[in-house]
Amino acid sequence: MKVQKLNYPQFNETLYRTTLFNGLTVNLLPREGFHKTYAVMTTNYGSVDTQFVNSQGKQVDVLAGTAHFLEHKLFEKEDHDAFDVFGEYGADVNAFTSFTKTSFLFSTTQNLSKCLETLLDFVQEPYFSTQTVEKEKGIIGEEISMYDDDADWQLFFGILKNLYPKDPLSVDIAGTKDTIAQIDPQVLYDCYNEYYQPANMDLFVVGGFDLTEVLDVIEADQAKKDFNAFQNNNELPLFLGKSGSDIRTFAEKTLNVTRPKSMIGIKGMQETPQKRAGLKYKLELELGLYLLFGESSLLFQELFQAGIVDDSFNYELEMERGFHFAVISGDTFRFEEMEERIKKTIAHAPEILANSSTELELAKKEFLGQYIQAQNSLESIANGYDGKLFDHATLFDYAELVPQVSLADVCAAIERLFRPQVISTFRVMPVNEEK
């Protein structure tokens, strides 16, 4: 087995990477002085993966919320719960589901080998029964209810419904009470067998551990298990940028909030570049959006000084497998003025950026510093790894890339995101402000 050794001398880090016989990608980053080890096992499968072609060549439609439901149910086995096993070892364990990934994680300062085996076992040995599946519906139902009352979450999914009305991106990651009501053990097994194959997964371990010991544990564990020959990945290629004309340009909803919330979304219509070029594109966009909408931007300064927005003003770029979009938002009674100024900034982005060379140099210092600060956190390092999406890039690669970005790169990336211009507005309005 070949272990790749990746050196980052500037940051005093060495990352070890290998792919096991069964296709599982393993990243190991030992760190001096740390007591804790954090391990996260990720499947390249999330809430937007709602269609696949099964081994009989038949297209299968998956109920919304299945990936998240699976995440919950992998912990519970016929005669035990993985939570208890980690508890015996004194470790903390958790999991989360995003649009394109499902991750299972633990952190511990002791019994590392046993914890690693437990992680691999509970993720790789599914057990679903009607009784355990039914029981989970009440719990996930409450999780959905909780998010129904979360105005920021509703704002975010509101803009997604506008920008991606026919795509799975517009449905809550947990699904709806209706879709989860239809989930049964067979649905979970079908999706599990399709997506939880070692070659579609990776394991990232970071912290105070011994490299050889950990590698041996993982290898020995995997060698014991019998995996069906990795079926040709039947994942349908995902690209959610095709439909630009059928978006909703505006919608609003009323909720129990004290003041209006407004969000403007910009939908990326072009496919993102592959591998490291995709990483560079993402970084260029992050820098461009920071210059246009960040804390030190002229727009924010103007809106802030005029009392139109406060610290709730924010922007975000989401770029995952199959889609990318940017959102800019704020909580304000003067939402119309804010929206108008944001749209004006979008329209004049090329001119604004062309005059931002001094600001870009400062922004690059800021970004470099932030990527280095993030290296303190084991969780940030491991969770910041995007697997195959950007050809196995890590936080260290982001930091190394920062000095290479030019103003021309930033302008071109923003141009690529903003043209053709597909933008939409979504508002959450207080009950008494209803129009």
Rounded distance between C-alpha atoms, residue 162 and residue 261, angstroms:
15
Asked if residue 137 binds another protein (CB under 8 A), the reply is yes
Piece of the chain touching another protein by CB under 8 A; list 63-71, 224-232, 308-316, 382-390:
308-316
Give SS3 for 11: helix
3-state helix, strand, coil in the chain (%, to 5): 45, 20, 35
Q: Three-state SS for 316?
A: strand
**Residue 310 near another protein by CB under 8 A:** yes
- Answer for which of 211, 247, 257, 412 binds another protein (CB under 8 A) is 257
Concatenated DSSP letters of 342-369: HHHHHHTHHHHHHT-HHHHHHHHHHHHH
Q: Interacting stretch for another protein, rule CB under 8 A, among 229-237, 250-258, 270-278, 390-398?
A: 250-258
408 binds another protein (CB under 8 A): no
Is residue 373 at the binding interface for another protein, with CB under 8 A as the rule? Answer: yes
- Using CB under 8 A as the binding rule, whether residue 355 contacts another protein is answered as no
CB of 309 to another protein, least distance (A): 9
| Binds another protein (CB under 8 A): choice among 230, 369, 408, 415 | 369
Report which of 26, 394, 415 is spatially closest to residue 203, judged by C-alpha positions. Answer: 26
Q: Are 352 and 345 in contact (CB under 8 A)?
A: yes
Under the binding rule (CB under 8 A), the answer on residue 377 touching another protein is yes
* CA–centroid distance for 417 within its chain: 19
First-to-last C-alpha distance (Å) of the chain? 65
Any catalytic annotation for residue 134? no
Strand order in the sheet with 201-207: 4-8, 13-19, 25-30, 201-207, 37-43, 102-108, 92-97
Annotated catalytic residue within 13, 32, 71, 433: 71
- Asked if residue 216 binds another protein (CB under 8 A), the reply is no
Instruction: Single out the residue of 135, 224, 242, 344 in contact with another protein (rule: CB under 8 A).
Output: 135
Per-residue x/- marks for another protein, 141-180, CB under 8 A?
Answer: -xx-xx-xxxx-----------------------------
Amino acid at 410: V
- Residue that has been written with the tokens 């950990």 in this structure: 214
Question: In the set 15, 20, 140, 410, which binds another protein (CB under 8 A)?
Answer: 140
Q: Is the Cβ of residue 311 or residue 340 nearer to another protein in the bound state?
A: 311
Per the CB < 8 A criterion, the answer to whether 64 and 174 are in contact is no
Looking at the Cβ atoms of 210 and 415, the one nearer to another protein is: 210
- The tokens describing 226, both together, are 């019998």
| Half-sphere exposure in the Cβ direction for 115 (13 Å, CA) | 28
Q: Which is nearer to another protein, 252 or 320 (CB)?
A: 252
Least Cβ distance, residue 307 to another protein (angstroms): 6
Element housing 280 (H / E):
helix 275-293
Which residues contact another protein (rule: CB under 8 A)? Answer: 10-12, 32-36, 81, 83-84, 87-93, 107-110, 135-140, 142-143, 145-146, 148-151, 207, 256-259, 294-296, 298, 300-301, 304-305, 307, 310-312, 331, 362-363, 365-370, 372-373, 375-378, 403, 431
- Catalytic annotation, residues: 71
